[in-house]
Structure 1
Amino acid sequence: MPILIVNTNVSKSSISNDTALTLSKIIASSLGKPESYVNVVINADAVLSFGGSTEGCAFVELQSIGFPSNRSKVVKAVTDAISQHLKIPGDRFYVRLVDLSGKDLADRRLFWFCTILLHFIAYFVLDMPLDQLVPTDNCTVAMLYATSIWISIIQIVDILLSAAAIVLFVLNVFSYKKLKNVFHFNFKINMISAAFLAFLLNSTLLAAHLRNQLVYRTFQNPCDLMMVTWVVLIVRVPGFIYVVGATLVHFCCFVERALATCYVRHYEMTGTWLGWLATFFTWSTTLFVNYWLYYTEDFFALKTYAGSTSQFSGPKLLIVHYVILFVDLAVLFGDLNLFLINKKQKNLRIHDYAYSLSKNYQLNENAAALQWLLPLSFVHSACFLVYALSHVLVRQFGENLDPVTFMIALEGSYIMIPIHSCCLLSAMLYREIKKPKKFTQIKDSEGAIYFLNLEKQWGKNMVQIEGKSVRNPSQLYLTT
């Protein structure tokens, strides 16, 4: 919550409410924060002197939890605003920036060590309440979040959805054996990655919101609601790991099925290296993206609410959301094309001399896999489209909302993530139960067709060896 404090000897009669509102807009714009977070205090008619003179002067202090990397722009914006709206020359006042997150300390490592030591002593030795460690206004904001009925409702809904998703994950684990001899390993390992991502998301989300609800109902001091940033990130970052990882799994499944469709005769014998490569790509890229998003965070700052987004990660999150949305829609279009191509390949099969059991087995596996994958693709794209659009709209148009209303809207958009995981795991469970039996029947019938075609082929290629008919193919090869 940025606070602009202006102490000046300018007459109070020359300062209006519009001046404070204008300064508030300028501060919000320069810091990249919602105006609803900004507090402006103007102490007029103060007894001040500057440079040995009592002419119009001021002392300006801007407090904020973190500042943009280019602080000179913030100082210039504040200086221009004070000069223009309070009519004080730029050389008659001093601007001081105070970073409440502690980024102004010269030795960062020493600060981290001291902070950890302070928290340890406060929590476990002295049993000191957090109101002695953080500004009182931050504690008040934290209490507003804790007493909001809508935030509690959203968190309870998240708890129920997360619990349901964990149950679905367990059912998927027990049903996985039915897929053992149905799909290629490369396809199955992608599905395992998706299921594990869903489990990671919902287990941490369940733990986070259960903790929040417990604290909201038992806290004695508003400052007990504050959380250290690194603790918040541990329980909330898995949510965005899931968002990025699920999209990458979606992409890897498309690539794997595209290769199986293009190299239908030989894909079955390619081995498992492609699946392991896809898994490495999914997890390494996901972790790198999340590192890029959050490495600039002040890990020991205290948060008023257990949310992973801050002024440092917010703009980057928007960029990643746009990229992921584009990838999901492109892959969905690709899945539809693969389904049509595979259907065309099956319709063009020739059950004669060119018949190949390996090829037809792969065609049937492609058809079964795409029928298994397409519903998941539609579920993923539809749920993520709703999530991404609602998330972007809240961030783009919610800057004028008060902090509590803004957080309610933001958490409301996050509900789509556990909904997405429940839908994904439900679709996977349904396909695991329904598809293998049908595919096994197709595989058995293909074997019968194969041997029938072999018999026809041998019958049409009868040869005479020393006046005797030969039907044994090994004898045919020996005569050549």
Structure 2
Amino acid sequence: MTSINSTSNINLNSLAIDLELSLLSPAYAIIIRINLLILLIILILIFELIRQYLKTRIIIHGNLMLILLFYKDPKELLTPLWLVCFLLGPFYIQILCYPSLHFCIMLERLRATLFLEKYENEGKKLAVFMNILCWVISIGYSIYIILMAFADPTMAIQGAIFLSTKSTANLTIYISILTTLMVILTALSDWKITKLNKKIKQRSRKIFFGYNLSKNFQLNENILVMRLILPMDIAYATIYLIYNALVVLIRIYKDKISPTNYVFYYSTLDTLLYLYTTVTIIVYIKLIKFIRNNQNITIERMTKSEEQTNMHFKELQKIWG
């Protein structure tokens, strides 16, 4: 028993010192600062997105939080397993839920294209069901990863820095491959849906009789929505393909690199997703501003038209006494 405890302490000390050297290295410091800066920009953009949507100004406090490494012993840098679950659990939800929601949005756009005349009267049951299903499966996947981490006797309770274990290594690789195929299929399907909507639009222009206002409105909405969705999904599929290919490569060689280098490489790859999220929020903010400007222009034109109509009727009343 004494030899086992001493071996455990030696491994823990080695991991703590390795983690300390990694955190103090210039490369890791640069990556962490870049990620913190991008996440701060994302947070600010989310507030701006909400402000644009609600048309009300959100007052943001001027104080900034400063994150420092303050410790007396390298062991203090190690994280309890329960805290790692709290910090990394949402990541496993996001890694499966986000691509799944993209796929479900594509299915909804496909339904809107195939059922143009009926889609306006269709309920939201299918969309709600797909949304709930994505969240339930993703949360279940995250819970499974956490439970397997606690069940693995090799996981150091006071020295965990990630949740993946030998028993879940293959599963995480399969999930990465599955989600990569999912986002590629989503992008290709969006491209086909866009072409299909354009063909329907061209076909409808040749038909002079049987004009359907509801069908035409839904068709124009589909074309407008796909102009936004298609470029974003192509960009997401490209970035996600690069990200997951490198993630799978890191996981395959996980046993040949140190735990701290494993975390460092993962943090570096996460920068790609953070950058995509930043660009996505900026695009949504631009879209909201574009829609609002068009609405203001339409309201101004309607107001001028109404004023001209009132003036015209007043002149007619003067003429006819």
TM-score by length of 1: 0.53
Q: Whole-Å Cα distance in 2 between the matches of residues 316 and 137 of structure 1?
A: 27
Question: Structure 2: which amino acid aligns with 1:138?
Answer: L
What pairs up with 1:56-455 in 2 under 5 angstroms? 135-148=9-22, 149=25, 150-176=27-53, 214=68, 217-298=69-150, 301-304=156-159, 306-350=161-205, 352-397=208-253, 399-434=255-290
Q: Whole-Å Cα distance in 2 between the matches of residues 281 and 222 of structure 1?
A: 43
Between Structure 1 and Structure 2, the one with more helix by share is: 2
| 1:435–1:423 distance in 2 versus 1, CA, 3 Å | same
Percent of residue pairs bearing the same amino acid type: 18
Question: Structure 2: which amino acid aligns with 1:331?
Answer: T
Shift of 1:424: 2.5
The structure whose Rg is larger is: 1
| 1:313–1:159 distance in 2 versus 1, CA, 3 Å | farther
Shift of 1:166: 1.5
Shift of 1:345: 0.9
Residue aligned with 2:149, SS: coil
Q: Whole-Å Cα distance in 1 between the matches of residues 72 and 54 of structure 2?
A: 50
Question: Structure 2: which amino acid aligns with 1:155?
Answer: I
Give the match for residue 72 of structure 1. none
For residues 287-330 of structure 1, what are the alpha-carbon distances to aligned partners after superposition, in whole Å with 9 as ceiling and x for unaligned?
12222333211179425353233333322111100111111111
Q: Whole-Å Cα distance in 2 between the matches of residues 268 and 160 of structure 1?
A: 43
Contact 2:96 2:138 in 1 (8 A): yes
Contact 2:19 2:77 in 1 (8 A): no
Contact 2:149 2:163 in 1 (8 A): no
| 1:275–1:403 distance in 2 versus 1, CA, 3 Å | closer
What pairs up with 1:27-38 in 2 under 5 angstroms? none
Q: Whole-Å Cα distance in 1 between the matches of residues 145 and 160 of structure 2?
A: 19
For residues 52-78 of structure 1, what are the alpha-carbon distances to aligned partners after superposition, in whole Å with 9 as ceiling and x for unaligned?
xxxxxxxxx9x9xxxxxxxxxxxxxxx
| 1:281–1:422 distance in 2 versus 1, CA, 3 Å | same
Residue aligned with 2:161, SS: coil
| 1:349–1:440 distance in 2 versus 1, CA, 3 Å | farther
Q: Whole-Å Cα distance in 2 between the matches of residues 177 and 259 of structure 1?
A: 30
Residue aligned with 1:220, SS: coil
Shift of 1:381: 0.9
Question: Structure 2: which amino acid aligns with 1:354?
Answer: G
Query: Any unmatched runs of 5+ in structure 1?
Result: 1-60, 64-97, 101-131, 179-209, 443-480
Question: Structure 1: which amino acid aligns with 2:119?
Answer: Y
Contact 2:80 2:159 in 1 (8 A): no
Contact 1:145 1:151 in 2 (8 A): no
Contact 1:375 1:427 in 2 (8 A): no
Give the match for residue 304 of structure 2. none
Q: Whole-Å Cα distance in 1 between the matches of residues 14 and 136 of structure 2?
A: 40
Shift of 1:438: 5.8
Q: Whole-Å Cα distance in 2 between the matches of residues 310 and 289 of structure 1?
A: 14
Shift of 1:338: 0.2
Contact 1:139 1:304 in 2 (8 A): no
Residue aligned with 1:429, SS: helix
| 1:408–1:138 distance in 2 versus 1, CA, 3 Å | same
Q: Whole-Å Cα distance in 1 between the matches of residues 52 and 119 of structure 2?
A: 26
TM-score by length of 2: 0.77
Question: Structure 1: which amino acid aligns with 2:209?
Answer: Y
Question: Higher relative contact order at CA 8 Å, sep ≥6: structure 1 or structure 2?
Answer: 2
Q: Whole-Å Cα distance in 1 between the matches of residues 222 and 243 of structure 2?
A: 30
Shift of 1:354: 1.0
Contact 2:92 2:141 in 1 (8 A): no
Q: Whole-Å Cα distance in 2 between the matches of residues 140 and 427 of structure 1?
A: 46
Question: Structure 1: which amino acid aligns with 2:29?
Answer: S
Contact 2:45 2:282 in 1 (8 A): yes
When the two structures are aligned, how many residues end up with a matched partner? 280
Shift of 1:403: 3.9
For residues 125-161 of structure 1, what are the alpha-carbon distances to aligned partners after superposition, in whole Å with 9 as ceiling and x for unaligned?
xxxxxxx9x7243133223223322333222222111
Question: Structure 2: which amino acid aligns with 1:230?
Answer: W
| 1:230–1:417 distance in 2 versus 1, CA, 3 Å | farther
Q: Whole-Å Cα distance in 1 between the matches of residues 273 and 157 of structure 2?
A: 26
